Structure 1
Amino acid sequence: MINPYKKNAKLVLSNGIVFPGFFFGASGTAIGEIVFNTGMTGYQEVITDPSYYGQILTFTYPEIGNTGINFEDSESNINVKGIIVRNFSSNSSNWRSKKNFNEWLVEKNIIGLYGIDTRALVKILRSNGSMNGVLTSEDRTLESCLKIINETPKMEGLNLSKVVSIKQQYLWQNHTETDFDVRKIYSEKPNTLKVVAIDFGIKKSILNRFVSHGCEILVLPAQSSLNDVLSNKPDGIFFSNGPGDPSSVTEGIDLARSLIEYGEIPMFGICLGHQIFGLALGGSTYKLPFGHRGLNHPCGKNSQIEITSQNHGFAIDPNSLSKDIVKITHYNLNDNTVAGLEVNNKPIFSVQYHPEAGPGPHDSDYLFKKFVSLMLERC
Structure 2
Amino acid sequence: MAMGRSVVGEQAVASAGVHMTSTFPRRELIRVGVVGLSASGGWAATAHVPALAELDGYELRAVSASSGESARAAGEKYAVPLAFGSAEELARSDEVDLVVVTVKVPHHLELIRPALEAGKMVFSEWPLGADLAQAEELADLAQRMGVLTAVGLQARSAPPLRYLRDLVADGYVGRVLSTSMLGWGGPWGAMYDDDHAYLLDVTSGATLLTIPFGHSVDALTMVLGEFREVSAHIENLRPEVTHVTSGAVAVKSTEDQIAVTGLLESGAVAAMQFRGGTSRATGFHWEINGTQGDLVVKADHDLWWMGRLRLYGARGDDGGLAELPVHARYQRSLTHWTERSAEPAYNVAHEYALLRDQITGSLAPDEDGVPDFRHAARRHAMLERVREAARTGRKVALAEHGA
TM-score by length of 1: 0.29
> Between Structure 1 and Structure 2, which shows a larger proportion of strand residues?
1
> Between Structure 1 and Structure 2, which shows a larger proportion of helix residues?
2
Ranked by relative contact order (alpha carbons within 8 Å, sequence separation 6 or more), the top structure is 2
